[in-house]
């Protein structure tokens, strides 16, 4: 089953796709910035694994949320 091309999408569908891409990009950028600044002792698992997961996955925002909820250790 073939999907629609960009031109076949309605303007509303095109805006929705663009909004999704922007949200995904912002979530990934914020998570990667936090990962880069956070000491390895405050990250659950290896930092390179998280960096790969965050950059290579097309997750609709799921990978950054998983990092924020489970990948970081509590400070203090």
- Confirm whether 6 is domain-assigned: no
Distance, CA of 17 to CA of 11 (rounded, Å): 10
- Confirm whether 46 is domain-assigned: yes
- Confirm whether 23 is domain-assigned: yes
- Confirm whether 47 is domain-assigned: yes
- Confirm whether 62 is domain-assigned: yes
Give me the DSSP letters along 23-76: HHHHHHHHHHHHHHHS-GGGBSS-HHHHHHHHHH---TTHHHHHIIIIIBPPP-
| Domain ranges, residue 46 | 11-71
Number of domains making up the chain: 1
- Confirm whether 19 is domain-assigned: yes
Each residue of 38-50: pLDDT tens digit? 999 999 999 999 9
Each residue of 5-17: pLDDT tens digit? 999 999 999 999 9
User: Residue 62 above 80 pLDDT?
Assistant: yes
């Amino acid at each position: 089953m073939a999907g629609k091309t960009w031109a076949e999408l309605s303007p509303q569908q095109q805006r929705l796709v663009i909004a999704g891409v922007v949200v995904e990009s912002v979530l990934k950028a914020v998570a990667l910035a936090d990962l880069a600044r956070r000491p390895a002792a405050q990250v659950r698992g290896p930092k390179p694994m998280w960096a790969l997961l965050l950059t290579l996955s097309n997750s609709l925002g799921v990978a950054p949320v998983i990092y924020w909820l489970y990948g970081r250790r509590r400070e203090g």
